[in-house]
Structure 1
Amino acid sequence: MKVWRGDDTGGTFVEFAVPSDPGMVVLDVVHRIQATQAPDLAVRWNCKAGKCGSCSAEINGHPKLMCMTRMNEFAPGEVITVSPVKTFPVIKDLVTDVSFNYEKAKTVPAFKPKPKEADGTRRMYQEDVDRVQE
């Protein structure tokens, strides 16, 4: 696996030989690199469930979530490149400055529930339930 190492002034890909076990995702391999070969490798992650987007990276040139990209998607022996998402400025290694997202989120109005029905209950529509599952 080749992982981009560097900061906002530049960097390069560093190749790591890392064994992967069945069921591993790219994020697991990156954590193994941190644990065994490069403890200073900077990477951001949070939920490891494909919900938060913290582990976004470019894997073989395509933006993906490291926690959802299974190692068995790649051919045995294939060199996998992991780099920071090009859309955001690099802070260090795979960590990018995503403060733009937080500033944009501040402009989204807060949730305001619909008023109660005449009998004092609230009605939930199926389209709202479906939206939660997206």
Structure 2
Amino acid sequence: MRTWRMIFNPKKQKDAVFCQYFLTNTTDARRMYNTANFYIRNTMTGIKKSPELRTSNEVEVLHDVFTGIQKANKARDIKYQKDLEKYNKGLLDKHPKKPKHFPYPTTKEWFLTYNVLDAVFKYTHNEVYYSMNSQLNQNAI
């Protein structure tokens, strides 16, 4: 495998576009990475505390996580029902698989996996998640 080295000069008009593109993508990726870690940390600490002792950040994050998981599971159920109706009408060859629901965090299993974080950010319409290209935000998580 070869590595190519390219030198871009932001003072040249042709290279300025590339430099702006790279700057935007790296900044957005860093924001997404920090947001994902923020959600993981606050879920970890908030889920282990009693509701009265939680900080405002932990309450907000846990609310977003539980709401996002609930919306994602509901969306999967709706898609399954639509596929089941298509199958019953004869439009699909195979019987659709039952949806696999995202697990809610517990005190023992509090870690948010990539799939759970992706669903939470998608269904809570996280502004950092939607401010960048989809292949970048999925990679940054």
Higher relative contact order (CA 8 A, sep 6+): 2
Taking structure 2 as the reference length, what is the TM-score of the superposition?
A: 0.24
Taking structure 1 as the reference length, what is the TM-score of the superposition?
A: 0.25
More strand by percentage: 1
More helix by percentage: 2
